[in-house]
């Protein structure tokens, strides 16, 4: 078994490092303490790299990383990653956008409360100056104030919900979401940006791109209420900093809560000299919980990328993400994982791949086809398959690709189904996403199941007779394999189906023993 090399270029939480260390088919290289010049020599052997803000993924880096297939930016921001350069070289660039969600949400609320009650200044007067002057610190309440939320993604909508708990009047602007995502939560949705500018408090939660840089500048601030409060715990440069300074000085802006700056570190920034600003040093992700989660997700995503299973949160996808709603994105990852799983079970010549979708998802079924192709072909073609090459490779192999948009008949709000036609017949798998990102396989070859598409698993079809579960448990136990979960489904005509999640890899001997059981119809091992 050839090992894939993952190089960790910057410091991440030890929880992620332990995952990499324990993964048998991964050669893990820790290079966080290596000089960045020396790193260029190390990175040449990497299949996947994990970076943070300390490593610039620029032309020098990419030219040195001659074997690189994927790069994980361990965090939300990717300002230091040359996305276009990655795309030109066929490198998939990814980030970890949700691991620090709660941390960023709570820091936003901390800045909002601090601005309204001038908390840091009242604290410093007593704690540092030892002055007790209550009359200096008459603040304002959040209750009854109108909050404008720019961007209603993972962070923005959670800020809005917490603001609702303070009994604020909340309105959001986000042209890339369906209005119902906000209105279903009791939050006003607007397509008129001036509605946001009329709010008492404004907070921004958008990515940093050409559309959003200087989104709030001199003209926008002039339309705002006198005494407005502005919060930015997203990305530096979304608010024009010169406009902020001028309007904080003249009082148009009463207070600003700022965690991010256009250029960091910002130790001599003019905002730091003003008496009506609360500032933190880009601490949005700085909780122990979020750093651990970022590390775990980065490690798992790097392993999946190295194996060619999936590329979670890819930034250079073959589709324009701005044109698809956020609910579609977890289905992209789910589709690729399910296709990878189904191909492992099939283990025969593939002749056709069909992707169908139900619900609102059906509008985007053509976009899902590429990801299904990557998942299926990764089993046989490995890392040579990516989002650019997948459909071309499929056609070269004579594999027929097709899609279907179906009416919603399954009872699920949205569902994606993949059918693979092989020389031995047809196999199918279906999945859905609960909530925002809880992925589940709900059907496998006509058997209803509920399985998280992750980990080591044995898939078994058998005659529905007494004693099968016990015999399976005995075989696995005798081979030192621990069962972590056992999902059963009963079909028609006396058949049953099981997805057995296990802690250790099942070798060919174990699969053979299970297949030789009298009740066994078919047994396969798969790993995602």
Residue with tokens 């940006």: 193
Write out the DSSP string of 124-174.
HHHHTS----GGG-----STT-EEEEE--SHHHHHHHHHHHHTT-EEEEE-
CA 439: distance to chain centroid? 12
**What is the Cα–Cα distance from 302 to 296, expressed in whole angstroms?**
10
Q: Which of 235, 269, 293, 307 is catalytic?
A: 235
84-110 core/surface letters (b: 16 or more CB in 10 A; e: else): ebbbeeebbbbbbbbbbbbbbbbbbbb
Q: Which of 167, 211, 264, 518 is catalytic?
A: 264
CA 83: distance to chain centroid? 17
> Which residue in 502, 498, 499, 522 sits closest to 456, CA to CA?
502
Q: Which of 73, 269, 282, 307 is catalytic?
A: 282
From the number of C-beta atoms within 10 Å of its C-beta (0-12, 13-18, 19+), residue 466 rates as exposed
**Dihedral class, residue 282 (left if φ above 0, else alpha if ψ from -120 to 50, else beta):** left
Three-state secondary structure call for residue 208: coil
CB 354 within 8 A of CB 427: no
Q: Is 235 a catalytic residue?
A: yes
> Which residue in 151, 186, 193 sits closest to 169, CA to CA?
186
Using CA atoms, how far residue 171 sits from 148, 201, 202, in Å, is: 5, 11, 10
Q: Is 123 a catalytic residue?
A: no
CB 458 within 8 A of CB 488: no
Q: Is 282 a catalytic residue?
A: yes
**What is the Cα–Cα distance from 65 to 392, expressed in whole angstroms?**
25
**What is the Cα–Cα distance from 306 to 300, expressed in whole angstroms?**
10
Question: What is the set of active-site residues?
Answer: 235, 264, 282
């Amino acid at each position: 078994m050839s090992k894939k090399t993952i190089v960790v270029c910057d410091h991440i939480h030890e929880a992620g490092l332990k995952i990499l260390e324990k993964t048998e088919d991964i050669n893990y290289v820790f290079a966080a303490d290596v000089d960045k010049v020396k790193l260029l020599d190390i990175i040449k052997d990497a299949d996947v790299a994990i970076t943070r803000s300390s490593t610039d993924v620029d032309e020098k880096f990419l030219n040195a990383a001659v074997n690189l297939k994927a790069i994980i930016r361990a965090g939300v921001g990717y300002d230091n990653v040359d996305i276009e350069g990655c795309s030109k070289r066929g490198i998939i660039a990814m980030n970890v956008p949700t691991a620090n969600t709660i941390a960023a949400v709570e820091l936003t609320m901390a800045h909002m409360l601090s601005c309204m009650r001038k908390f840091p200044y009242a604290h410093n007067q007593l704690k540092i100056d030892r002055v007790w002057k209550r009359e200096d610190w008459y603040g304002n309440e959040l209750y009854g104030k109108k909050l404008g939320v720019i961007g209603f993604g993972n962070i923005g909508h959670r800020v809005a919900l917490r603001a609702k708990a303070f009994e604020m009047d909340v309105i959001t602007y986000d042209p890339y979401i369906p209005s119902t995502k906000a209105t279903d939560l009791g939050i006003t949705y607007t397509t008129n940006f001036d509605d946001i500018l009329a709010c008492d408090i404004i907070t921004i939660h958008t990515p940093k791109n050409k559309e959003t840089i200087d989104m709030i500048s001199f003209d926008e601030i002039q339309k705002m209420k006198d005494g407005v409060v502005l919060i930015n715990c997203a990305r530096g440069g979304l608010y024009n900093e010169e406009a902020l300074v001028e309007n904080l000085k003249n009082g148009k802006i009463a207070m600003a809560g700022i965690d991010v700056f256009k250029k960091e570190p910002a130790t001599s920034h003019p905002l730091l000299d003003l008496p009506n600003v609360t500032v933190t040093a880009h601490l949005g992700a700085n909780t122990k919980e979020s750093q651990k989660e970022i590390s775990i997700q980065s490690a798992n995503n790097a392993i999946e990328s190295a194996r060619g299973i999936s590329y979670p949160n890819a930034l250079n996808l073959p589709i324009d993400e701005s044109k698809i709603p956020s609910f579609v994105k977890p289905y992209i990852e789910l589709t690729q994982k399910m296709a990878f799983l189904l191909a492992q079970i099939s283990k025969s010549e593939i002749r056709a791949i069909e992707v169908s979708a139900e619900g609102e998802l059906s509008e985007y079924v053509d976009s899902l086809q590429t990801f299904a192709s990557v998942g299926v072909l990764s089993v046989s073609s490995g890392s040579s398959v990516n989002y650019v090459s997948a459909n071309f490779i499929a056609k070269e192999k004579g594999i027929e690709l097709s899609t279907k948009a179906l009416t919603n008949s399954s009872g699920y709000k949205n569902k994606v189904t993949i059918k693979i036609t092989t020389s031995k017949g047809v196999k199918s798998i279906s999945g859905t996403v609960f909530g925002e990102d809880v992925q589940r396989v709900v059907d496998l070859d006509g058997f209803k199941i509920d399985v998280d598409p992750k980990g080591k698993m044995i898939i078994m079809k058998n005659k529905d007779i007494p004693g099968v579960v016990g015999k399976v448990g005995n075989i696995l136990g005798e081979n030192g394999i621990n069962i972590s979960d056992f999902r059963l489904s009963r079909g028609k005509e006396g058949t049953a189906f099981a997805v057995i999640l296990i802690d250790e890899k099942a070798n060919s001997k174990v699969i053979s023993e299970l297949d030789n059981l009298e009740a066994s119809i078919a047994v396969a091992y798969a790993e995602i």
